[in-house]
Structure 1
Amino acid sequence: MSDTFPASILGIDGHAHVFSRELDLTSARRYSPDYDATLAMYQHNLQSHGLSHGVLVQPSFLGTDNSYLLDALKQAPQQLRGVVVVERDISRAELDTMDRSGVVGIRLNLMGKALPDFSEPEWTVLFGHIAELDWHVELHRHVADIPTLIRGLMPFGVKIVIDHFGRPDARLGLDQSGLREMLELGLGGQVWAKVSGIYRLEGSEQENLDFACDLLPLLVESFGPQRLVWGSDWPHTQHEQRITYTSVVKQLQALGCTPQVMRSLLIESPQVLFDFSVVEA
């Protein structure tokens, strides 16, 4: 399928994962998959839902061994981009090689971890490389800590991407700790957010959707539609028994986006952020 996808952009899925149950998993993992999520399966989902391009994000349970993701990028270099997880002391040569393979960012999955001190020398060197490569730094953390992390990253001049709405708790409403600050920081033009993982917002299915519907207009107002991207979060790890690609597409449709906002989420914004150079349909 990698040779037959549309050359023009029909829609970009800005967040998905591929892996095999046979891969070596990091000892620090919080979750172990018992199934495969292959590139072919992912490409089938894109095609079945009228999408053409995708962004593969390194899953936390594979640690810093990005080889499976990088191999997928090599199989479909025009169709895919990648976001990797790296050690702080990774060499510039390794980063340059990844850049040529279609990598456009690094992910900091900080769920359940101590907050890092970005002023430490190793972080400073790494973020200097990221800025020079024009990559982004993706943050996965509960919303209460997101403003602190954003402020720590801003001096490096890197693009900052917030995972899954910033992982707020839908049950706590719009006034919960960190959420308003996150929205204020979105006004500066350096921060992007992923409209993804609605089912990870801690409430019931209806609570999560209602909260996302309330939050999205605030995100559009603060970030602007040009800095919001949609992602399926396929294969919906830890929620795969009840969530499907079709169900997350339906959740996106239920958000009530205007046609222009939907186009921004699926085409215009991710095309810029993830450096897709092909011309949209």
Structure 2
Amino acid sequence: MDYMDAHAHVFLHHDTFPTTARYRPTYTASVESYIEQLDRHGFHKAVLVQPSFLGTDNSYMLTALSKYPERLRGIAVLSNTTDASTLRSLDKQGIVGIRINLFGITCPDLTSPHWKAFLSQLADINWQVEIQAPPVYLIQLLPILKPYRLNIVIDHFGRFNPIKGVQDQEFLQLLDMLEPEKHWVKVSGYYRLGNEIGIQNAKDALKLLMQRNMRNHLIWGSDWPHTQNESQINFTKALTTFKKIINCDELAAQILTTNNTNLFTF
């Protein structure tokens, strides 16, 4: 079975950034450069995730999907007022879900009429909802999302407080909410869990996730080009460190192949 990278970004440095962007890259991360990374490391398929600094302008990612329709799928950032016909069009172009990135902004009210209608439409077309947020937001959102027939994907180990580590009480609450048949956790971006302690934090979190029967719903992505961490990380280091964190060849292979492809159907 082919290796799959379940989380990467592509963008142009001259894109217009939303005023709310917390980060504005000064370089291009082209889809061609990314495909070279995949080929070099033996990955055939991948999922592109719309970076938050591009807002709802998914145009470059959609162009990338059109260039490599057999190899790439996409997670878009969309307004919750996006209509059903637009969603169907995006689905045909290779989009398989939406991303909600809540760092630096207030937690949305998913019980509002717009959100309820939007989430129902996402369930109708079998999309997923990927959330990058601290545990304090996740523990508010997961109960609201529970009634919807949606796969919920939690980014980067749940982004718990690096200093508190896995003893972060909100992270422990989040772990207790996880349902192995509904929730997926990306065991990626360990360097977003602290510079010096990120690897140990990731190992500690993995142990707790395994104890909660999440083995079959752990997925991995390179997080290429590792925005805001470009100087300390690359695809090779992200992959080799992931394998060290997992510390089990069989489980690492399962995550990179079976788990990833069970969530992202091509």
Structure 2 residue corresponding to 1:251, chosen from 226, 232, 241:
241
Amino acid at match of 2:236: T
Per-residue CA deviations over 1:35-56 (Å, capped at 9, x if unaligned) read 0000111011111112111100
Q: Is the 8 A contact 1:144 1:177 kept in 2?
A: no
- 1:273 lines up with 2:263 in the alignment: yes
Amino acid at match of 1:106: I
Q: Which residue of 1 aligns with 2:142?
A: 150
Q: Is the 8 A contact 2:157 2:186 kept in 1?
A: yes
Equivalent residues in 2 for 1:49-198, closer than 5 Å: 49-198=41-190
Q: 1:125 to 1:244 in 2, by over 3 A?
A: same
Whole-angstrom distance in 2 between the partners of 1:204 and 1:61: 23
Q: Is the 8 A contact 2:226 2:234 kept in 1?
A: yes
State TM-score, norm by structure 2: 0.96
Q: SS of 2:14's equivalent?
A: coil
Amino acid at match of 2:245: L
Structure 2 residue corresponding to 1:22, chosen from 14, 33, 47:
14
Structure 2 residue corresponding to 1:209, chosen from 199, 207, 213:
199
Q: Is the 8 A contact 1:106 1:137 kept in 2?
A: yes
- 1:233 lines up with 2:223 in the alignment: yes
Shift of 1:253: 1.7
Aligned Cα RMSD in Å?
Answer: 1.3
Shift of 1:131: 0.6
Q: Is the 8 A contact 1:220 1:228 kept in 2?
A: no
Whole-angstrom distance in 2 between the partners of 1:130 and 1:257: 36
Amino acid at match of 2:204: D
Q: Is the 8 A contact 2:246 2:252 kept in 1?
A: no
Whole-angstrom distance in 2 between the partners of 1:22 and 1:128: 35
The farther-off stretch of 212-221 and 34-43 is 212-221
Q: State, as a whole percentage, how many aligned pairs show the same letter.
A: 38
Amino acid at match of 2:259: S
Unaligned ranges ≥5, structure 1:
1-8, 277-281
Whole-angstrom distance in 1 between the partners of 2:107 and 2:188: 23
Structure 2 residue corresponding to 1:260, chosen from 243, 250, 255:
250
Q: Is the 8 A contact 1:58 1:84 kept in 2?
A: yes
Per-residue CA deviations over 1:200-257 (Å, capped at 9, x if unaligned) read 11x233x110111121122123252221100111111111122111111121121143
Q: Is the 8 A contact 1:143 1:178 kept in 2?
A: yes
Amino acid at match of 1:252: F
Q: Number of matched residues?
A: 266
Q: SS of 1:187's equivalent?
A: coil
Shift of 1:188: 4.8
Q: SS of 1:53's equivalent?
A: strand
| Aligned structure 1 segments of 4 or more residues deviating by more than 4 angstroms | none
Q: Which residue of 1 aligns with 2:40?
A: 48
Whole-angstrom distance in 2 between the partners of 1:98 and 1:69: 11
Q: Is the 8 A contact 1:192 1:223 kept in 2?
A: no
Q: Which residue of 1 aligns with 2:232?
A: 242
Per-residue CA deviations over 1:145-200 (Å, capped at 9, x if unaligned) read 21111112112221110011110123212221221222222235211111111111
Shift of 1:96: 0.4
Whole-angstrom distance in 2 between the partners of 1:253 and 1:59: 25
Q: SS of 2:179's equivalent?
A: helix
Q: Is the 8 A contact 1:183 1:223 kept in 2?
A: no
Q: SS of 2:6's equivalent?
A: strand
Q: Is the 8 A contact 2:4 2:46 kept in 1?
A: yes
